[in-house]
Amino acid sequence: MEIACLQAAGTPGDVEANLAALDAACAEAAAHGADLLVTDEMYVTGYDIGERVHELARQDLLARVQDLARRHGIAVVAGLPELAGGACYNTAALVGPDGALLARHRKAHLFGALDRAVFTAGDDLVTVVDHAGVRIALLICYDVEFPESVRAAATAGAHLVLVPTAQMEPFGWIAEELIRVRAWENQVYVAYVNHDGREGSLEYVGSSSVVAPSGEVLAAAGHGDVLLYATVDPALVGEQQRANPYLADRRPELYGGLAR
């Protein structure tokens, strides 16, 4: 699977501008031969926009993303707010190239006052789905900073962990260092797709990357709007897990108390 990762500053609070940019990115990624395009966290509306996110979530944002995926014939993971049951969730939606909704992940670990002021936490540690021969796990930003999340993805058989992110200063070292560790300790691909620029009170770190199961960085960005490309080979995940058998050598009977 060829994946494309869209790092962008976006236009905070302007759904039309962000969807227009996503339209262009889908066209470029599809022309490049990518099977899947991944955006950053809350890409469609912007992340640090306060209570306005609830107003924008009343639109059918998912349907707009589904239309783009269908028109360009490319799968898309889009970060957007989702209203359900009176709650607002920070969601990553995976849409197939035919526009069908394949999976959604609601951010399980809310980060600080910013998240808790506007979002409700999701109840799934990780969301896993099969698409085009690749087992894909979805997490959002802070979720990946909990080792249990990526380990759960790996033990569920994931080949690729997709992490739409809005990582801000002063936490650049997470993008630069932690993501490689998560890929290495689980022998899975990790695509960490970050926001860039300034928004509200936040300055984002950029530094998106795609890391192989070996810990090798396959593609990386600094600052700026950019599309990163990388190839995901499910067979390599199995090879790396046999060569570096963290998963096989686990002793879960010793770990029970750690989850309490």
Q: Which residues are catalytic?
A: 41, 107, 141
Main-chain dihedrals φ then ψ at residue 222, nearest 5 degrees? -95, -115
**Nearest-angstrom CA–CA distance, 211 and 205:** 17
Q: 41-58: buried (b, 16+ CB within 10 Å) or exposed (e) per residue?
A: bbbbbbbbbeeebeebbe
How far is Cα of residue 95 from the mean position of the Cα atoms in its chain?
Answer: 13
* 3-class state of residue 101 by DSSP: strand
Question: Among the residues of 12-170, which ranges form H helices?
Answer: 15-32, 52-57, 61-72, 112-118, 147-155
Q: Which residues contact 257 (CB under 8 A, 6 or more apart)?
A: none
